[in-house]
Amino acid sequence: MDLFDIKEVRELLDRHGFSFKKSLGQNFITKRWIPERIVSASGIDDLHGVLEIGPGIGTLTRSLCESAGRVTCLELDSRLIPVLRETLSENKNVIIRQGDALKADLAQIIHDDLDGLIPVACANLPYYITTPVLERLFKSRLFRQITVMVQKEVACRICASAGSPDYGAFTVFARYYSDPEILFDVPAGCFLPRPKVDSSVVLFRMHTSNPYGITDEELFFKIVRSSFAQRRKTLINGLLSVLPMNKDELASVISGCGFRPDVRGETLSIEAFAKITAEISKKLVDFER
């Protein structure tokens, strides 16, 4: 079966009584070069075990199976399970699971399905679930790398530079866990149904150590979130509402780290946030004493 032939795909879906649910953000890949390039650009080979989230009709899954040691695809929509069993019937290194990536026991899946292989994740993510899925994958610290296709504007935010309009809390969050890179863009016309915007494929090479020396993760993210909560505020004014420190104390810390007291969080790199977090942490310890 040719999953890049729109007529054959429509016949497949009709045969299984499948109709697209807008609420699930379902958009299936229709161009052969996309999954082939995703797999090659990600460097996936037979040493890797892949968890694919949201396989749809198995278009990307097939390419993953050709290169990876083993593939587990986790599909939320139970109506697509029989479709996947048909389209992936010739692939002997794939396991099809029905479940929610936000609730499934990812560690158990890797243990049961991908044991002995280097675990990586791959997904074509709908916009509405991009952030929560990535957050769960990052925090799990289970994967060597994560490759996802997301809306182009989301990819730009993830890979934005400090001080740019796209730079935000999620940019810092992604870089805390990984080194993200936009691999290539995918036009809207390469999907069925056609979305309203273009997409981009992003590769996250996960950090295996703590490159920024952050010892208080909770405080770090509290500072980052408050810094971007109201972008027009200075860093100090943003922190006043979440830290038990007054304006003079915060100004002293910020200046001691080499920044102007009126600096805004949107201009700070992750290294700068790490430095400020370390100094604030020291002050808070002294305060508690």
pLDDT in tens, 61-106: 999 999 999 999 999 999 999 999 999 999 999 999 999 999 999 9
Superfamily the domain 217-288 falls into: rRNA adenine dimethylase, C-terminal domain (1.10.8.100)
Contacts 24+ apart (CB under 8 A), 224-231: 224/169, 224/172, 224/173, 224/265, 224/273, 225/169, 226/265, 227/169, 227/264, 227/265, 227/266, 227/268, 227/273, 228/168, 228/169, 228/265, 228/266, 231/264, 231/265, 231/266
Where do the domains of the chain lie? 6-206, 217-288
- For residues 122-130, average pLDDT: 89
Q: Which residues have C-beta within 8 Å of that of residue 17, sequence separation ≥ 6? A: 79
Q: Do 204 and 168 form a contact (C-beta atoms < 8 A)?
A: no
pLDDT tens digit string along 90-99?
A: 999 999 999 9
- Does the pLDDT of residue 212 top 60, yes or no? yes
212: helix, strand or coil = coil
Q: Which helix (H) or strand (E) holds 246?
A: none
Side-chain-side CA neighbours of 28 within 13 Å: the count stands at: 23
Give me the helix-helix angle, 270-288 and 217-229, nearest 10°.
110
- For residues 218-242, average pLDDT: 91
Q: What is the pTM of this model?
A: 0.93
- Does the pLDDT of residue 288 top 60, yes or no? no
d(CA 60, CA 29): 8
Fold that domain 6-206 belongs to in CATH: Rossmann fold (3.40.50)
**Closest to 191 in 3D by CA, of 17, 64, 31, 14:** 31
* CA 129 to each of CA 133, 147, 176: distance values in angstroms, whole numbers, following the listed order: 6, 15, 20
